[in-house]
Amino acid sequence: MMLTFYWYPNCGTCKKAKKWLENQQVNYKPIHIVQNPPTKEELLDLIQKSGLPAKKFFNTSGKKYRELNLKEKIADATNEEMAEILASDGMLIKRPIVTDGSQVTVGYKEEEFAKNWL
């Protein structure tokens, strides 16, 4: 199984997730989420496959999220609108995002990774 691993190399959580994948010898293709953010269409697909609300894909602790006052902007936004905002800047996206093409995890929790990626 080859996973797609959207990450930001300076992100501590991403580093922990990457180390976990490597320790478990899970094959993955790393994609720098800021240099190559997923497109609106890719994000809509990831949101749908994750089973999570689109709001969960936002990096709510990020500086940019606060600067753009996105909490209020996305309160009534559709998934389409949220995916468009997310696709505009990889720093707005919660990371890491891991997918095998059918399941998706957002963020890093060791138990969730073990359940989904082993």
For the chain, give the DSSP string: -EEEEEE-TT-HHHHHHHHHHHHTT-EEEEEETTTSPPPHHHHHHHHHHHTS-GGGGB-TTSHHHHHTTHHHHTTT--HHHHHHHHHT-GGGB-S-EEE-SS-EEES--HHHHHHHH-
Whether the pLDDT of residue 1 is over 80: the answer is no
Angle separating helix axes 79-87 and 40-50, nearest 10 degrees: 120
Confidence of residue 33 (pLDDT cuts 50, 70, 90): very high
Model pLDDT for residues 55-112, shown as the tens digit of each residue:
999 999 999 999 999 999 999 999 999 999 999 999 999 999 999 999 999 999 999 9
Q: Which fold has domain 2-117?
A: Glutaredoxin (3.40.30)
Whether the pLDDT of residue 114 is over 90: the answer is yes
Whether the pLDDT of residue 32 is over 80: the answer is yes
| pLDDT value for 41 | 98
- Boundaries of every domain in the chain: 2-117
Distance of CA 16 to the CA centre of its chain: 15
| pLDDT value for 104 | 98
The bridge status of strand 104-106 relative to strand 2-7 is: unpaired
| pLDDT value for 39 | 97
